[in-house]
Every structure is written in structure tokens, then in C-alpha cells.
Amino acid sequence: MVKTVVAVKRGNVADEDPAKRGRVEVLDLPEKEMGDEDVKIRVAYCGICGGDPRKVEGLFDLEPPFGLGHEVCGTIEAMGPKANRSHRNLQVGDRVAGNFIHYCGTCYYCLNGQEQFCENGGFSAEPGMAETVVWHESQTWKVPDEIPLEHACLLEPLSVAIRIADKSNIKVGNRVAIFGGGVIGLLAAQVMKRYGATDLTLFEPVEGRRAVAKPMGADHALDPRSVDVVEEAMAITNGRGYDVVVETSGAPAAAVAAYQIANRGATVLYVAAYPDGYELPVPLTYLFGPKELTFSGVFRSPYVFPRAVQLLPGMDLEPLDLGIFPMEQAQEAFVAQVRRMHSKILIKCNQQA
């Protein structure tokens, strides 16, 4: 049996008290049997993704109990006899992080350069907020020795930030705006800055998160509740708007503001999870009129993990405010996540980590 953080009760999404938006507990779940190509990872840390509390709250129509977590790092504890087909030279004791999605590599989409639409793969069946997980070796990536494990846990969010940059078609000198100062927004800011973003503006209502934005690369950090977003955006960009706008907050108001502050010919990316049934009200003139915007989204992050591993040692992650909670305090960690008390919250899954 494996100790695992499990959602045990749905909550009221609209309740102002985060503690009443569902409940998680630590339960013993059966350990997954290893296959020939699998590796068993003793989990050091697992990050709380912005979508995890929403699962607990019931927004994704999941029926409790179910396990949680996918942003995993740890050490390899055991390996199947054929667990090195990718020639990564994995060994027991290696420090690793991983991609919680296993692609089959043989279906139409995988062979067509679109593995994010894989017909046979999908999310790892095992929750990551657990003492151990069993993943296919192709999901597992070594992390450099100089990377602390709590930073290695950010490999999966970093892969999303790289995917954002890929899909944005950013060019050196482009003006960039990002809504949301969670870890995805902050990592995207630093990655975009490396791509040559200018007037990089992050909109975030939480003061503590705004304080982190400039050390992570933003030129401007603004509270969308206290300023007129469109007015401020136009002032910063000399009335033109941003060439790339990224929405990571999941707030409907931000989803609308994102295209309102876009320059002509801009790309607007939607990355967050939104409330069930939410429909974005977009006047079609934003598409075929003089704006000629490109709207897109990020579903998964295909083909980026090798680059994320290469980039991770060069990222400045020290400014991030990491909140670390032991597994036994998982409910308190989820409340802290809903209250947005930290840049990123990690569950410490083993005391020796």
C-alpha cells in the first residue's frame, strides 16, 4: 500500500471559505504493479497544480475518492528489466522529474508530429502526491545534480512555459502581457524575457505574487482590480497593445481583457482551466477585422521535455516563494493554494527528501 493524497469530499465552489471547497485526506492505496519498461519513483515533492483544487471542488465532475498530483520529482527506487529503451542510462538512485503523460508513439497523431492528441496514451493512472509512483521510463527525465529537488519539481510547469513560448510565435522585441502570477505565469515571464520580450507586463491581483514578478523578468506588475487594464496596457504600449497575450489565471474577466489589450496581428493564448460551461464572448471583428488576431490554447506540452531539462539549470528560480507542506498537512496546503498564499505549493511526500 502507498500513502496518497486523495480527494474525499466535494465542496462548494462559490464558498468564500477555502476550507469548505472540498476536502483531501491521506489514504493507503494499492501499489501499482511494475511493467518491464516501468520505473518506480520515490517521490520527494509533488507540486499542487492550479487545476488540483478545482478537481477537489468538483469543477471537473470527478467523483471522490480520487488521487491527486502530477508535478513529480524524486529518486528512482526500482526499474523494470527493459526500462532503458530511450538510452537515457537511467539507474536506481537517479534524481528524476517527469511528464505525467505517457504517449504511445505509434498512433496517427504521434506519428504525425501531434503527440498531444495521442489516441492511446494519456494521464498517468497514478496520482503523484504519493510516497511512490510507477511511470513508464519514457515519462522520466534525469535532473542535473546541482538542481535542488524542490526546483526539480518545477520541470513540468517549465515545460508548459516553453510550450507557451512555442505557440506564441514570439519574435525578439515583441511586447508581451501575461495574466496570472502563479508559477506558470511567472515561469512564462522568465522564458519570454529570454526570447526578447519587451514591455513585459504581468497582471496579478495578489500583492505577494506581484512582488515576485519583476525578479522573474516582468517589466511591469499591475493589480487588475485597482487599474483599468485596457487603459494601462495602452499607456505602456503607446496605444498599440501587446503582440503576445497569455492568459494563465482562469478568470473570465482576464479571458476577455486578454484580447482587448492585443495589438493588430497579435497572438492570444489561453492556458488556464476555466469554470465549466464558460464561453468566451469574442466579437468576430477581432478575427476578420483590422485586428486579425490569432487565438489559440495550450492543451499539453509535446516534445519539450528535453529542452526543459536543458533550460532548468539556467532558470533563476530563487525569487519564487515556495510553500512546502508535509503530506499530513495536505488539506492545509490546498487551502493555502486556494488563498494563493505562495508562488507555488509543494507537498513533501517523504520526510527524507
Name the superfamily (CATH) of residues 2-154+320-348: Medium-chain alcohol dehydrogenases, catalytic domain (3.90.180.10)
CA angle at residue 249 from 130 to 269, to 5 degrees?
Answer: 110
Q: How far apart are alpha carbons 260 and 179 in whole angstroms?
A: 13
Q: How far apart are alpha carbons 299 and 32 in whole angstroms?
A: 27
Report which residue type is found at 173: G
Domain ranges of the chain: 2-154+320-348, 161-297
Nearest to 268 by CA among 178, 192, 187, 172: 178
Q: How confident is the model at residue 23 (pLDDT cuts 50, 70, 90)?
A: confident
Q: pLDDT tens digit string along 118-162?
A: 998 766 557 899 999 999 999 999 998 899 999 999 999 999 999
Q: How far apart are alpha carbons 125 and 30 in whole angstroms?
A: 12
- Are 187 and 332 in contact by the 8 Å Cβ rule? The answer is no
Strands 71-79 and 38-47: antiparallel
Average pLDDT for 179-183? 95
Q: Which fold has domain 161-297?
A: Rossmann fold (3.40.50)
**Is the confidence at residue 352, as pLDDT, over 70?**
no
Helix (H) or strand (E) holding 342: none
pTM over 0.85: yes
Mean pLDDT of the chain: 91
Q: How far apart are alpha carbons 260 and 233 in whole angstroms?
A: 9
Q: In sequence order, what E strands does 32-160 have?
A: 38-47, 66-67, 71-79, 95-98, 101-102, 122-123, 132-136, 140-142
